[in-house]
Structure 1
Amino acid sequence: MMEDDPVTVHQAMQDPNSEKWIEAMNEEYKSMQDNKVWELVPLPEGVKPIGCKWIFKTKRDSKGNVERYKARLVAKGYTQKEGIDFKETFSPVSSKDSFRTIMALVAHYDLELHQMDVKTAFLNGNIDETIYMVQPENFVSEEPKNMVCKLTKSIYGLKQASRQWYHKFHQVIISFGFEINVVEDCVYHKFSGSRYIFLVLYVDDILLATNNIDMLHETKRFLSKNFEMKDLGDASFVLGIQIHRDRSQSILGLSQRNYIDKVLKRFGMQDCKAGDTSVAKGDKFSLNQCPKGNLEIQEMQKIPYASAIGSLMYAQVCSVRI
């Protein structure tokens, strides 16, 4: 059984894995310092700094085994004021259709498929606004109490963070000769004679599909030179989707078994029996199927119908066999 992650620093300190969480917090804080994300300054008069909090997450592999403990410092972006702390927030992400299209090309042309992860991606984005943030819990400086963090880089949680990171990545990858796809802002391609490579960006996850191993290594070296990257090698688990390949038969399968197991557990159906079709096409529901009486109504209120349908549709649009 997977235990819940701590939601506060106090809970993390009381957790059986407290040493792991402390180590993760120190690593995140060091990354902030190395990237010069802020500078400590006295809080200007009349200015209210935004808050921040620690988010804790146990990262697991496709089989549910613990890979690492991750702590992330996040700004409380909901306290930002439009026009003062941010202007534009929109940032594109690659669509599931693009992901499946690339997977189809990989299977059909037997391409190399590798994955990279951008460490602390949002810290690479610059900000145009002047933003003050309170010091993070457990890392408050011994300086006077009115000292706050004046942000010099973007940080997770800011409303404009994703947008600023995308602009930074776009500028860098275009400088290396990649071109953006005309219909998908987060898919890039590069051709050199008969050699070609596709790059799919999904926030801080990067997929590389190519017919040339040298081109693959060139791109990896370039990315690692410009960003702090983690090379994950052959792609096998992306965005919670497990990738199965049989290159001898040009077959590529996508599975979300772990995701579906979590959905079933969330809605209390982990012990249900499998069926070919849960609801047949064309079935019609009637008012007779609505809850009757206070007891049935109370029971139905425990089931978030819209959330359940959304969870099922996410699996539906992601997992196909190619």
Structure 2
Amino acid sequence: IKGRGRRCLLSVEEPTKFEDANTEECWRRAMDEELGSIQDNKTWELVDPPNDHKIIGLKWVYKVRKDAEGNLVKYKARLVAKGYVQEQGVDFEEVFAPVTRMESVRLVIALAAQESWKLHHMDVKSAFLNGELKKEVYVKKPPGYIKKGEEHKVLKLHKALYGLCQAPWAWNIKLDRTLVSLGFEKSPLEHAMYKRGKGKDSLLVSIYVDDLLITGADEEEIARFKLQMKELFKMSDLGLLTYYLGIEVHQKPEGITLCQEAYAKKILESCSMEDCNPSHVPMAPRLKLSKKSQAPAVDATKYRSVVGSLRYLVNTRPDLAYSVGVVSRFMEAPMTEHWAAVKQILRYIKGTTNFGCVYLREKRKEMVELLGYSDSDLAGDIDDRKSTSGVAYFLGRSIVSWLSQKQKVVALSSCEAEYIAAATAAGQGVWLEKLLGDLTDKEPEGVVLYVDNKSTIALCKNPVHHDRSKHIDIRYHYIRDCVEEGKIEVNYICTDDQLADILTKSLGRQKFTEMRGRIGVQAVK
């Protein structure tokens, strides 16, 4: 940005009011660009105000866009409707729009790494403006763009605006119909995942609102799809995937890596801990935290903000899943000892900001299969004595899904705690196996699940043991049906090789470092 934008570059603060933005030429240009895009899209028409409809106000929202390194990329002004005044059943019906789960995204990335496919990225410009409305919606004219003599007129919307309650749903319907018309089939297991063709001609598209992640074996087919989308929508072709939902992606001949280094540094900076001393583990071994602490209270708003940021960091850092899960239990009334545990996690992040997931290409493709690990502690929460389930799934050596979650019931034995964790793992494993089969046109062969408790394995396979386990909720016996039907194969693994162990308890430095490497989390830069 040069010349006329220099003044704006000196201050990259995001205005909160139109009056402030209107004095800066760079923001004025951004507003003109947004309005031009809306008018080109034939989003509205100028009409007299109706008597039987409420008129929704509009406001400008300003955002400075930066890349992964924090460099300024663009000034973005978005015209947003004040949708909070809408009433369901009157102004709109449906609001929900599916987005791809992070497990699905990681599965596609692991599959691409294994097959040596390139990942491409496209972005739909002003995506919500393409959604077609079913109900009549009227809005006021945008601030700063009211022509003399038209002060009394309003705008009747033909297509959606950002901020309208039905905008995400309308856009999703439009995109779904478009992809189906181009020959794609929606996955029945992931409603934001689409596939076209088979074998070497297969093309996979993952949708997250207006971001399209595209991969497949044939680069010419990918290029053809990009041209088709550009003819239908205003698209930004971002080339090979490098930055997706705040995640830095590096594609190399030997594999693909995921990292959130810039995001991790931003968290440290927000907590004024960018110069802190690093820690070797995210949580001290055998540390027990309680809601009944008598320690002084801390700022709950700040605590929730930091923990919420850490939870998003877990998308590429399974080594943080357990510790972040523990501190998340004290959101309601955090104490100083809870905040100290959060600071320990931040100190660990300080020394591992460049760590992330590594997805390597397996040398022997026939050895690639979906492997699961299920583990549990026993009564680890000292407040309610509930246990923590740990579940991890790998495609070959690449971790694609993980879970560290406190169980909903109190287990009376280690066998029961492990059984509950295995039942949770079974549901996730069956879904992942079916999704993988759908993406690769292969019949699901069944998932291998490793458990380090022989009594749990016997309970999964042998109904005779049910006499000792009558009290276990019937929903947890789902795994027994999966075993009988061949969907899940439960095998024993020794505790030292149980990779889900890192998701159920705080480990010592040596054991933690070993497990972290074995699940595929390492320095990627």
TM-score by length of 2: 0.57
Q: CA deviation at 1:142?
A: 2.2
- State the distance in 2 between where 1:211 and 1:28 align: 37
- State the distance in 2 between where 1:23 and 1:290 align: 55
Range moving further from structure 2, 306-315 or 207-216? 306-315
Structure having the larger proportion of residues in helix:
2
Q: CA deviation at 1:289?
A: 5.3
Q: CA deviation at 1:196?
A: 1.3
Q: CA deviation at 1:303?
A: 5.2
Aligned to 1:264: 268
Is the 1:267–1:303 contact (alpha carbons within 8 Å) kept by the matching residues of 2? no
Q: 1:201–1:266: structure 2 CA closer, same or farther, 3 Å change rule?
A: same
Q: Secondary structure at the match of 1:69?
A: strand
Q: Secondary structure at the match of 1:260?
A: helix
Is the 2:12–2:64 contact (alpha carbons within 8 Å) kept by the matching residues of 1? no
> Does residue 85 of structure 2 align to residue 79 of structure 1?
yes
Aligned to 2:49: 43
> Does residue 300 of structure 2 align to residue 291 of structure 1?
no
Aligned to 1:316: 314
Q: Give CA-to-partner distance per residue, 1:63-95, whole Å, 9 cap, x none.
A: 111111111101011011111111110110111
1:145-294, aligned counterparts within 5 Å?
A: 145-247=151-253, 249=254, 251-280=255-284, 282-286=286-290, 290-292=294-296
1:28-67, aligned counterparts within 5 Å?
A: 28-45=34-51, 47-67=53-73
Q: CA deviation at 1:321?
A: 2.6
Q: 1:11–1:272: structure 2 CA closer, same or farther, 3 Å change rule?
A: farther
Greater Rg by CA: 2
Q: CA deviation at 1:172?
A: 0.6
Q: 1:37–1:281: structure 2 CA closer, same or farther, 3 Å change rule?
A: farther
Range moving further from structure 2, 115-124 or 40-49? 40-49
Q: CA deviation at 1:268?
A: 3.1
Q: Secondary structure at the match of 1:317?
A: coil
Runs of 4+ in 1 over 4 A off after TM superposition: 286-290
1:45-124, aligned counterparts within 5 Å?
A: 45=51, 47-124=53-130
Q: 1:303–1:166: structure 2 CA closer, same or farther, 3 Å change rule?
A: closer
Say which of 7, 26, 40 aligns to 2:16.
7
Which residue identity is paired with 2:314? Q
Is the 1:199–1:207 contact (alpha carbons within 8 Å) kept by the matching residues of 2? yes
Range moving further from structure 2, 263-272 or 61-70? 263-272
- State the distance in 2 between where 1:318 and 1:215 align: 30
Aligned sequence identity (%)? 36
Q: CA deviation at 1:262?
A: 1.8
Q: CA deviation at 1:281?
A: 6.0
Alignment size in residue pairs: 311
- State the distance in 2 between where 1:2 and 1:306 align: 29
Is the 2:251–2:257 contact (alpha carbons within 8 Å) kept by the matching residues of 1? yes
> Does residue 138 of structure 2 align to residue 140 of structure 1?
no
What's the C-alpha RMSD, in Å, of the aligned pairs? 1.9
Which residue identity is paired with 1:321? V
Q: CA deviation at 1:177?
A: 1.1
Range moving further from structure 2, 35-44 or 259-268? 259-268
Which residue identity is paired with 1:314? Y
Q: Give CA-to-partner distance per residue, 1:96-118, whole Å, 9 cap, x none.
A: 10111111011111101111010
Q: 1:8–1:190: structure 2 CA closer, same or farther, 3 Å change rule?
A: same
Q: Secondary structure at the match of 1:21?
A: helix
- State the distance in 2 between where 1:12 and 1:273 align: 41
Q: 1:195–1:166: structure 2 CA closer, same or farther, 3 Å change rule?
A: same
- State the distance in 2 between where 1:279 and 1:269 align: 17
- State the distance in 1 between where 2:272 and 2:284 align: 22
**Structure 2 runs not aligned, ≥5 long:** 1-9, 318-356, 360-525
**Structure 1 runs not aligned, ≥5 long:** none
Q: Which has the higher contact order (CA 8 A, sep 6+)?
A: 1
1:10-25, aligned counterparts within 5 Å?
A: 10-14=19-23, 18-25=24-31
- State the distance in 2 between where 1:210 and 1:188 align: 12
